[in-house]
């Protein structure tokens, strides 16, 4: 992002400094702006509904997506780039901005379980090889977990009434990417018998189902 960002306000254009962009935009976020309420799907605290506004910038192919909290009025900014010749809509930008957290979770999963950041290489070629192999292993684990999602989901039926007690057996959660990686690694660790590996896997997934 450039140090000075040209923002189109109606027929005029104003240059705003990036480090003070939030405070400057709050001054222009008046009733003249036609904020549109869009939902970012449900989260852990319910429906994630925000007011959105979309501004053109002087940078070619770049727009500024503004998200305002509907109760606090706090602004969040997304500096968006559009490929040449591609039609863009506000809903498409909101959907792309909402993919940030799945990407962050994927990076965290790759670092914690597949060693994405556990390398001591310095050259570009070595870093590229390590990244490609790690992402390939993560992809295999994700494909296995997705393919076995319905076959390994043995969770108990959720309660239908407030007075209905918890089930005696909570069942098992579906096979996760982490569990698929762990079971695959057991193929090269013969110190445990296969029955022990599956017993530990069932015990872990049952306790995760009870905690969920």
| pLDDT at position 13 | 58
Please give the C-alpha separations between residue 188 and each of 182, 183, 200, in angstroms, as whole numbers. 11, 10, 17
Domain boundaries, the chain: 4-98, 104-211
Closest alpha carbon to 33 in 7, 60, 3, 6 = 7
Tokens of 181: 């990686």
Tokens of 24: 């400057």
Q: What is the pLDDT of residues 82-136, one digit of tens each?
A: 888 888 888 888 888 888 778 888 889 899 889 998 888 889 999 999 999 999 9
Number of H helices and E strands in the chain, helices first, is 6, 6
Residues 6 or more apart whose Cβ sits within 8 Å of residue 57: 5, 6, 7, 8, 63, 64
**pTM for this predicted structure:** 0.60
């Amino acid at each position: 992002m450039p140090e000075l960002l040209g923002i189109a306000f109606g027929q005029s254009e104003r240059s705003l400094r990036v480090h003070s962009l939030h405070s400057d935009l709050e001054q222009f976020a008046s009733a003249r702006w036609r904020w549109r309420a869009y939902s970012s799907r449900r989260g852990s605290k319910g429906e994630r509904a925000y007011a959105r506004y979309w501004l053109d910038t002087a940078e070619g192919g770049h727009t500024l997506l503004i998200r305002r909290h509907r109760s606090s009025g706090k602004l969040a900014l997304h500096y968006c780039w559009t490929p040449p010749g591609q039609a863009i809509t506000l809903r498409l930008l909101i959907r792309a901005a909402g993919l940030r957290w799945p990407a962050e979770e994927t990076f965290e999963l790759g670092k914690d379980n597949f060693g994405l950041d556990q390398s001591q290489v310095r050259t570009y070629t070595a870093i590229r090889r390590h990244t490609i192999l790690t992402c390939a292993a993560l992809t295999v684990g994700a494909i296995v977990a997705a393919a076995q999602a319905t076959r390994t989901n043995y969770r108990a039926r959720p309660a239908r009434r407030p007075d209905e007690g918890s089930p005696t057996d909570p069942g098992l959660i579906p096979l996760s990417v982490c569990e698929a990686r762990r079971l695959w690694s057991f193929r090269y660790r013969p110190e445990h018998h296969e029955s022990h590996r599956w017993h530990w896997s069932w015990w872990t997934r049952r306790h995760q189902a009870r905690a969920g």
